């Protein structure tokens, strides 16, 4: 069957711009690329405890057998959601199959027709896709610019619309964060509901990795938090945190929850055990923070406390060449290309981990300086 010309032309354009995405095997190089901040994805204690948990419960099924509203709501769901809600000091938690599903499920269902969604212009694609599916109207504000946000809030203050303010606690490309306390002040001033994606804060911020919202003790001021497990928790899935009423509403109206097969008992058990491990992983979190401080010491222009560090190298060609050089010398560092980021803002994205050594950090930065100087 002939492949449509319009689709072929789009692929060719990507190829010409050196931006064509291809699937690569996992790398065995020194890791400065993955989101596995605490090394949980390869933690043998978690792996073995998950097996023991399933065996002790005589849970031998490989799949959930259906959606949670049909046959897939196995016993581990309730226990895991209760553990998560207690850990995050919130009324309820509702597990979704992925962070993408959680954001699409929330934004396509919760904001109603004539409501207003004000979202940071660098919000993740899953947030933007969910907003596009919503009946509400979405307006972006300049990145981490609370003055621009307030101007939008003033614009819609006289309407009867419910306003949602949407942002991330740690942004995935630069690792920067909004001013959390001021966000809460603005939300309360305009009776807006604050929604925060904590994908890159879980496991990184807070004494036990609770996230940036809890680090600032703002959990009672936020309408909904999205916690993603594929990064600091090293497994798969996500949860939306909020009130009992929010959970009930999502169970009834969130299509990405209602119309999909539930996670398997093994997947949910891994989430539960990873959270339990997070509760006793202060040493790993401390090591991660020490590596972040060390990186910032060697690269004084970096001030953010997150584990994500980006070095802008404009043009897809140049940033790919730089990444290739680092790869050839033993370091897995990924180039971020346009159109994922705007043209001219292509960058190398360094992800730090608790298991990186100071020597590895110094070596990869020396190589970077060598090729860019």
- What structural domains does the chain harbor? 45-278 (3.40.640.10), 282-372 (3.90.1150.10)
Which residues face 119 on adjacent strands? Answer: 140, 166
Confidence at residue 309, expressed as pLDDT on a 0 to 100 scale: 95
CA distance 218 to 284: 24
What's the chain's average pLDDT?
96
307: helix, strand or coil? coil
Contacts of 7 (CB under 8 A, 6+ apart): none
DSSP 8-state class, residue 246: H
Report whether 23 contacts 357 (CB < 8 A): no
Residue 1 has pLDDT above 90, yes or no: no
Any long-range contacts for 69-78 (C-beta under 8 Å, 24+ apart)? 69/251, 69/258, 72/261, 72/262, 72/263, 73/262, 74/262, 74/265, 74/268, 76/265, 76/268, 76/269, 76/272, 77/262, 77/268
- pLDDT band of residue 45 (cuts 50, 70, 90) is very high
Is residue 294 within a helix (H) or strand (E), and if so which, with residue range? Answer: helix 282-298
Residue 159 has pLDDT above 90, yes or no: no
Mean pLDDT of 144-166: 95
Which residues face 96 on adjacent strands? Answer: 238
Torsional sign, CA 341, 110, 144, 212: negative
CA distance 335 to 346: 7
Contacts of 6 (CB under 8 A, 6+ apart): none
Cα 324–Cα 329–Cα 335 angle in degrees, nearest 5: 30
Residue 254 has pLDDT above 90, yes or no: yes
Distances (CA, A) of 30 to 24, 27, 329, 349, 364: 16, 8, 10, 14, 10
Residue 26 has pLDDT above 90, yes or no: no
Residue 351 has pLDDT above 90, yes or no: yes
- pLDDT band of residue 373 (cuts 50, 70, 90) is confident
Q: How many other C-beta atoms can be found within 10 angstroms of the C-beta atom of residue 68?
A: 21
Mean pLDDT of 274-298: 96
CA distance 260 to 96: 10
247: helix, strand or coil? helix
Mean pLDDT of 141-161: 95
Confidence at residue 140, expressed as pLDDT on a 0 to 100 scale: 98
Mean pLDDT of 259-275: 98
Mean pLDDT of 302-323: 92
- State the DSSP string of 40-61: GGG-HHHHHHHHHHHHHTT---
Q: pTM of this prediction?
A: 0.95
Residue 360 has pLDDT above 90, yes or no: yes
The tens digit of pLDDT for each residue in 85-119 reads 999 999 999 999 999 999 999 999 999 999 999 99
Give the residue carrying structure tokens 């993955």.
34
Confidence at residue 158, expressed as pLDDT on a 0 to 100 scale: 87
Confidence at residue 241, expressed as pLDDT on a 0 to 100 scale: 98
CA distance 308 to 299: 13
Confidence at residue 193, expressed as pLDDT on a 0 to 100 scale: 98
Distances (CA, A) of 7 to 3, 10, 339: 7, 5, 17
The tens digit of pLDDT for each residue in 46-78 reads 999 999 999 999 999 999 999 999 999 999 999
Give the residue carrying structure tokens 């809030």.
153
Residue 128 has pLDDT above 90, yes or no: yes
Contacts of 246 (CB under 8 A, 6+ apart): 92, 110, 223, 224, 240
Confidence at residue 300, expressed as pLDDT on a 0 to 100 scale: 81
């Amino acid at each position: 069957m002939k492949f449509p010309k319009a689709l072929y032309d789009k692929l060719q354009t990507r190829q010409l711009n050196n931006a064509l995405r291809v699937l690569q095997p996992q790398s065995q190089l020194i890791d400065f690329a993955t989101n596995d901040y605490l090394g949980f994805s390869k933690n043998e204690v978690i792996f073995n405890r998950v097996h023991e948990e399933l065996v002790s419960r005589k849970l031998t099924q490989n799949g959930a057998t259906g959606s949670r509203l049909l046959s897939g709501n196995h016993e581990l769901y309730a226990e895991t959601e209760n553990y998560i809600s207690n850990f995050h000091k919130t009324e309820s938690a509702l597990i979704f199959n992925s962070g993408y599903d959680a954001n699409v499920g929330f934004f396509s269902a919760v904001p109603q027709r004539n409501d207003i969604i004000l979202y940071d212009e660098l919000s993740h694609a899953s947030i933007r896709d969910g907003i596009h599916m919503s009946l509400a109207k979405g307006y972006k504000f300049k990145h981490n610019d609370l003055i621009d946000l307030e101007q939008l809030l003033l614009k819609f203050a006289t309407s009867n619309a419910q306003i949602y303010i949407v942002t991330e606690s740690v942004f995935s490309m630069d690792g920067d964060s909004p001013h959390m306390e001021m966000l809460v002040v603005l939300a309360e001033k305009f009776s807006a509901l604050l929604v925060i994606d904590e994908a890159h804060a879980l496991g990184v911020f807070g004494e036990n990795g609770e996230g940036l919202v809890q680090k600032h003790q703002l959990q009672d001021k936020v309408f909904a938090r999205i916690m993603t497990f594929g990064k600091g928790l090293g497994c798969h899935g996500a949860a939306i945190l909020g009130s009992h009423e929010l959970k009930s509403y999502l169970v009834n109206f969130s299509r990405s929850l209602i119309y999909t097969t539930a996670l398997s008992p093994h997947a949910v058990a891994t989430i539960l055990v990873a959270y339990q491990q997070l509760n006793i992983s202060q040493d790993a979190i401390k090591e991660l923070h020490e590596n972040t401080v060390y990186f910032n010491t060697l690269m004084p222009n970096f001030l953010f406390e997150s584990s994500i560090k980006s070095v802008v190298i404009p043009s897809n060609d140049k940033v790919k060449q730089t990444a290739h050089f680092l790869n050839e010398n033993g370091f897995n560092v990924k180039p971020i290309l346009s159109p994922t980021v705007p043209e001219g803002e292509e960058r190398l994205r360094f992800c730090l981990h608790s298991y990186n050594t100071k020597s590895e950090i110094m070596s990869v930065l020396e190589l970077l300086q060598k090729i860019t100087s």
